[in-house]
Each structure stands twice: as structure tokens, then as C-alpha cells.
Amino acid sequence: MVQNKRGITAEDFYRIRYASDPQLSPDGTAVAYVQSMVDVDRAYRTHLFVQSLAEKSVIALTEGAVRDSSPRWSPDGTQICFISKRSGKSQIWLIDVKGGEPTQVTRCKTGAANPVWSPDGKRIAFSSMMTPEDSFADLETDEKKEAPKKAIVVNRMKYKSDDLGFVYDTSKQIAVVDVETGEITPVTHSDYHHTVGTWSPDGHWLAITANQVENTDLQHSVDVYLVPVNGGEWIKLTRSMGTFFFPTWSADGKKLAYIGSESPTHLIATQKNVWVSDLETGTQTCLTADWDVQVGDSTIGDVRSPGHPNPGGVWTEDGSGMYFIASERGNSSLYHATLDGTITKVIGGERNIYGFTLHEQSRTAVIAVSDPITPGDLIEVNLETGEEVRLTDVNHELLAELDLPEPIELEYEGQDGWKLHGWLLKPVGFQEGEKYPMVLQIHGGPHSMYGNTFFHEFLLLAAKGYAVLYTNPRGSFGYGEKFMQACCGDYGGNDYLDLMSAVKYACDQFDFIDTNRMGVAGGSYGGFMTNWIVGQTNLFKAAVTDRSICNWLSFYGVSDIGYYFTAEEIQGNPFTNPEKLWQHSPIRHVANIETPLLIMHGEQDHRCPIEQAEQLYIALQHQGKAPVSFMRFPGASHELSRSGDPEQRVLRLQYTAEWFDAYLHTTEKVVME
């Protein structure tokens, strides 16, 4: 161990900060960004900062008990609009870049999100979740909430969402607010969801995305539209054969780029690409069609909240190409693609770039970066020389106290010869000649990616004396589309064997691993796989399953995505081939489970509803076999471990470590209260 340093604790979560959503000023001399933290009341806070690139001086634009986000520079660089709940609902606010008191721009009853300035700086486009009865003219008030309805008529299959809760008949609509007068002009009016994109350079059009097919419950395509801001006929650019997002205009207004996939057979298991529409000829081109890499950041971590702003494809000034993030072999990097399909890595490294902004005239980029020992900071990059200058060090005090092990990269073969990839953390305080227990961690998705990013849970287990093995089995992003799709219809098949191959490889390569003291843990798909593993083998002496799936038959009807997720991922449904869903259900093997199992689940999880945990717990208790404990988290959604209540997140980490301590360090049974 490094002298005078210690391993990380679960409670250190309250001290971790990260910087995100960097936005360079129009003249490229300063960057605005968000800094996130947990305050002394153990509540989330997000504040806005502006930092000069030349002097490196920093101005805190906002502070206090607020959650401010989405800072966006006015075109003249004198003001920043942002989203804040300081008045109650999320609304658009405006503040001078030199600081001062912010002013409120919108006062919508249904709130406001996703602000985008018009080129002339006079208007801001935004979105809001609304019912057919709501109006942008309805004002936010301090009145008490309306009494709950006695009965609700459900007319659609997509009536709930893990991130939004029960949405019933609400949909996302777009409007434009006049910054000077506050007057709001609706842009969309239908029952479909619409997402704000960008303004055309002349300010006459908005590029947006929406699903406007006849039956949005059964056809999930998301198309790109050009919408005249002052009214008129819409122009549809895509063909309702895939999902597309983040449209961006070239500087001359002649082309539009967007990120997405066009696949008649896959909605979920498909890689995203960069597309361009020539608005003069009407042609659509996929710039990355021959590049077998996932566009976007697919890296999983447990400190930063999911859903960071994606700038999409950022055009070069001359319109000859664009910059974007892509994920490959555990890293997410910044790339450049020309219109003829030439792709170049611009900023790489063994790290996770989760955001970027650039100013081409000054050849400057600012990237938001995490790595295995850095939760999230900003780095200025000279695009000509590649020289990097660190702009923020938001965790310097905490990190100075900690001994954080760096991962060992692993490359090995699966049982069928497939090339596989992963990492191993040694325990903090590692001593040659000693034997250590090991925990296998399995990511969710399954179409996501472990990589070179900060993972509090892994570092906590390492601090507790465990080796931590984490890998990307087939189904993961980062290794090509064939690899990513290989788990579809085969959950618990070769993906399971990939994980067992990883364990065997690690045990063969590292003699410090105690093969008699191994544990396994995972969440979501990783929870499914944990449940599957303990039903197949007694190799592991303890297991933790988090927000998991045990029964695909019931998951089909209770999850917010169940009916179409199972169709693609398991390739079955209850009314034509229920036996297929049952074949891949871990609860089918519950009689085989002898591994002590900790089950953790959020009570408001709409993605993998808590009935999945309840079934597994009752089945195990009824048999009276394996030791089992069930931890329920009131009010928690599927995002508990990433954006849930801070105290619940710390409790979850503590329960995980305590369970493994009980069964991998001693022979005594743990009793949790």
C-alpha cells in the first residue's frame, strides 16, 4: 500500500465530484461546465462554472441548494441559459457570464428542458412533457398538487417509463420562447414524442426527432424531421426503419448529420452510425457503414449519472466532415469522419471520454474524461499538436488520501475460440505470496461496455481485500456488431461460457486468487446472469444480484420495455413460444441454487420490476436451501446504483461488501438489519 494512503470506502461517495457537459464559448476563450456533488444534507447538487482557458481562472455562476444543468452560451457570448428547478419545476433561466443573479425565462406549468439558442440569440427552443389538456400558456404556480385520480384509463402499451414513471397520455412537445418577452410559440402539437435537435443557420428551421408512425407501441422507429419554426410543412429525412438522434446542421445549412441505426430486424442490438443527409439532393449517406465500431459512449460507470448530453456529430467549419465519440475495446475516444468515409482517431487513450466541445478556428477541444482512478474532469486539447492541459481537478483532496489500484488488462479465448477482453484489480495492500478472494462483476445491458473508467464499487471491493474481475462477454459493445448481437436468443449460453472462461483464465494466470473463495455480482442483465450462474454451478461461494431478471415470462408484461425487449433479445413471447422464455429463465433452475444469495431491488423499478426479485426470494425461502437475504429500496428506480438516492446508494455498497465479507472472508453467516 502507498504509505499514508487508504482504500476507498462506501461513504466516500458523499465526497466524490465530477465535471460534465463542457461548452466552449463562441469565441473559444472560455468553457462553461457543470460540477456535480452531494452536499452535507446528502442531497445532489449541480452548479455551473465558467473557466477562462488563458488565465485558467474560474467563476462559480451558481451555488447553494440547487440543481442547475445544461449551460448553453448565447450566440454573442454574453449570457448563458440553463435548466434549474429553483422555482419548483425545471425551467429555463438566464445569467450573465460574469456572474450575478439569474433571471427566469420560462414559467411553464409542465416545465422546460433541452434549451437550444436560435442563431440570432433572440429565441430558445425547448421541450416539455405534456398531456393533451396542457398548454405552454399554463403557468407554474405554488399551488398544491391536484388530488390523485380515482381511476386512470390506459390506452397505450408504453404507459410507464423507468426514468419518467407513469406517463399515461403525456408526450414530449417542443416550443420556442422569446428571450426578451417570454412569449412562447408551440412548434409541435400531436400526441407523439418529439426531441429538440438544432436550429438551421438561417433560423428558419428546427431539426428534431420523433416517432410519428401509426402505432408507436409496435413500431419503435425514430425519424429526423425538419420543422419550419413559423409554421408550414414538415420534411421527413429518414425512412422509419431505425432510430436516429442528435441532428446537427453544417455551417452552410446544406447538410444535416445525425446518429443512429437503420435495421429492419434489430431495435436494441444494433450499433449506432454517423449519417448525413444532403438537403439539396435528398440523398442520405452512412459515413461509418464500413466501420464496425459503436458510435457514442457505451462505457458503464457507477459515479456519473447516465444520459450525459451527446453533441452528436460536430461539423468542421468547412462542412467537409465532423467529430464524434465512439466506443471500442473498453475506451471511448474522439474521432473525425470525412464525407467520403475516412475515419481518424483524434483524441484517444486508455480512458472514457464522455463529453466534448470544440472550437475549430482556434483548434481547441475540451473533453470530459474519466479513467480507473479519476471520477471525471475536464481537459483542454490542442487539436494541432495533441497537447493536453488539465482544466479541473475536482477530487484532488479525496484522491490524495486514497490508494486506488489500476487494472490489469486481460485478453483470452472463450471456449469456442472467440477473442475476449477484460480487466482485473488487485486488492489494496496486495502482498506477494498471499491468497485473496475474488469477485466476478457482470455488467448490465447486455449491450454496454466495461472499460477504462472510474468504478466505485470495484474499488471498494479491492479496498476490502478482494481481487475484482470484470470482462466484456459477447453481447457487449466495443468489439463489433457480430460480437454484440451474439447473445440474442442465447442468454445463458455462450455469454455464460465467456464469463466462466474469464474466471478460469484469471485463476490460471494469477496464483494469488483463492479459487475456494470466489463471489459473483451483477445488476440488470448482470443480475440475470448472476441468477443464471448460481443455478448452474456451485463454483462461487457468495453472490449478489441487483435489479435482476429471473423470469422472462412475467418480465414480458411488467417491464416498461418487456414486450419488445424479449422479442428481440430472447426471441420469444408468451403467446407463440412461451417455452423459449421459460428456457432462458433463471428461476427454472432455482432448485439447484445453493450459493448464498443477496437480492437487492428498487421498489419503483419499472425496467426490471421488483416482482422479479420477489419471485426469486420466495422460491428460495420456500425451499429452505441456500442462505438468502432480500433488500428492498423504497422509491428507487432501475438507476439506483447510478443516480438514485445518495444514502441508498451507499447502503447498497455497504450491503454488497458485507455479504461478501460474511461468506468469502469467514464461515459465519451474515445477519443484516
Instruction: Catalogue the active-site residues.
Output: 524, 638
Cβ-proximal residues to 410 (8 Å cutoff; 6+ apart), any chain: 421, 422, 423, 424, 471, 502, 505, 506, 509
Phi, psi for 171 (deg, rounded to 5): -150, 160
DSSP states along 101-121: --EE---BTT--EEEEE-TTS
Element of type H or E holding 543: strand 542-546
Q: Show the CA angle centred on residue 512, arms to residues 506 and 514, nearest 5°.
A: 80
In the block, cell 452512412 appears at: 286
Residues in CB range of 45: below 8 A, 6 or more apart: 36, 37, 38, 39, 64, 65, 66, 67
Residue with cell 481537459: 379
* Helical packing angle, 525-536 and 494-509, nearest 10°: 80
**Gap between the Cα atoms of 210 and 222, Å rounded:** 5
Neighbouring residues of 559: CB distance < 8 A, sequence distance ≥ 6: 565, 606, 607, 608, 609
Please name which of 279, 272, 358 lies closest in space to residue 315, comparing C-alpha atoms: 358
Q: What are phi and psi of 569, to 5 degrees?
A: -85, -40
Phi, psi of 533 (to 5 degrees): -60, -45
Contacts for 656 with CB less than 8 Å, ≥ 6 apart: 457, 460, 461, 521, 544, 598, 600
641 vs 638: CA distance, rounded Å: 8
> Going by C-beta distance under 8 Å and a sequence separation of 6 or more, which residues neighbour residue 81?
70, 71, 72, 74, 92, 93, 94, 105, 115, 117, 124, 179
Q: Kindly report the number of other CB atoms within 10 A of residue 188's CB atom.
A: 22
Strands of the 419-425 sheet, one edge to the other: 408-413, 419-425, 467-471, 436-442, 513-523, 542-546, 597-602, 628-633
CA distances from 508 to 442, 474, 511 (A): 20, 21, 7
DSSP secondary structure string, 251-271? TTSSEEEEEEEE-SS-SSS--
CA separation, residue 405 to residues 207, 427, 538, 616 (Å): 45, 7, 29, 35
Q: Are 194 and 223 in contact (CB under 8 A)?
A: no
SS3 528: helix
Q: Count of residues for the chain? A: 673
Q: How far apart are CA 211 and CA 224, in angstroms?
A: 9
Query: Cα angle vertex 332, ends 327, 338, to 5°?
Result: 70
Helix axes 456-463, 646-660, angle to 10 degrees: 40
